[in-house]
Structure 1
């Protein structure tokens, strides 16, 4: 009787197994990469700068390419209000000191002019500011208000420490330069990596 019971149980299991469909195997698909991460940042719309500002920019690039701090200082001297540092030091001496500490003002200035320009109006005068993100108000630089591409560029330019400065209400903390519409060089400050 015991073998009959076992046979009955075995038959029921076979019938039950035949009545059920095989469990469906679902393989997860590999994650789809966010293509925005693989693409270089999109350049913002280009601002057309005035002819006078373009001449000044070109003269600055020429002096910076030569490695001439004296040439940069001569252009800066054309504007009595030009700023290169917060301490009011002589521009050429300040830049020379930076160069001796490993920060090359000529290379930094050339790097800035490779960035897109932003536009700012100060007392009715248009200023072209490099990089463009430095032309924005601090409240407009908070990463959550920027596009994905702008956020990425901002982080590349100033890093996490710079972003923390912005979050605490400070303006753009990185290197930047500005030329007025009339071609006057307004400032060239190195921000966190030169003035710290």
Structure 2
């Protein structure tokens, strides 16, 4: 008991030796967030299309907005090396089959072109790719390397199965389209939603 009394007395002496405590001052308002949280995430720089790519995009959209699948297929046929499917069907046959099963290629194209484009360099040629996430390398698609907003967009575009495929090392597995800088329509593929 004496030892506990001794410790209490020693503690009081130490507190007294430290002098009077400064009164706590309450902040006038809420504390500001840390610097990295104070700034909203900056959007990526907008990609500016070449005049030829912008003209081709407008032409494709014109067909898609009219719902003119046959003329869209003729446009695709005129593009050297254009890819719409990996089964060897003609563009018209493939897109018509999709439409008859409830998947409208015209609407899908309109949806794609409402997304921001990204840039991909392929064999020295510049391609504008929609959506921009489809232009990224596989290592940059890993959700943990993305901002919250990018992760959310990726999940909306490819779903949980697509995220799983990306984590397994595959490239962007969803619907995408590309136009080269010189205005050639390169591809319009549906990814996991269609041909695979």
* Greater Rg by CA: 1
Q: Counterparts of 2:176 and 2:105 in 1: how far apart (Å)?
A: 11
Name the structure 2 match of 1:84: 84
Name the structure 2 match of 1:47: 47
Superposition deviation, residue 42 in structure 1? 7.5
- Using a 3 Å threshold, how does the CA distance of structure 1 residues 69 and 42 change in structure 2: closer, same or farther? farther
- Using a 3 Å threshold, how does the CA distance of structure 1 residues 112 and 43 change in structure 2: closer, same or farther? farther
Aligned alpha-carbon RMSD (Å) = 1.3
Superposition deviation, residue 175 in structure 1? 0.3
Aligned ranges for residues 157-176 of structure 1 at < 5 Å? 157-176=157-176
Q: Give the ranges of 4+ consecutive aligned residues of structure 1 lying more than 6 Å apart after TM superposition.
A: none
Superposition deviation, residue 102 in structure 1? 0.8
Name the structure 1 match of 2:23: none
Return 5+ residue gaps in structure 1 as ranges: 1-40
Q: SS of 1:151's equivalent?
A: helix
Name the structure 2 match of 1:155: 155
Q: Is 1:141–1:166's contact at 8 Å kept on the other side of the alignment? A: yes
Name the structure 1 match of 2:189: 189
Question: For each residue in 1:11-54, what CA deviation from the matched residue of structure 2 results, as whole angstroms up to 9, or x when unmatched?
Answer: xxxxxxxxxxxxxxxxxxxxxxxxxxxxxx97533100000000
TM-score normalized by the length of structure 1: 0.77
Q: Counterparts of 2:61 and 2:78 in 1: how far apart (Å)?
A: 16
Question: For each residue in 1:47-102, what CA deviation from the matched residue of structure 2 results, as whole angstroms up to 9, or x when unmatched?
Answer: 00000000000000000011111111121112231000011210011000001111
Q: Is 1:42–1:149's contact at 8 Å kept on the other side of the alignment? A: no
Q: Counterparts of 1:195 and 1:103 in 2: how far apart (Å)?
A: 12
Return 5+ residue gaps in structure 2 as ranges: 1-40
Q: SS of 1:172's equivalent?
A: coil
Q: SS of 2:183's equivalent?
A: coil
Name the structure 2 match of 1:16: none
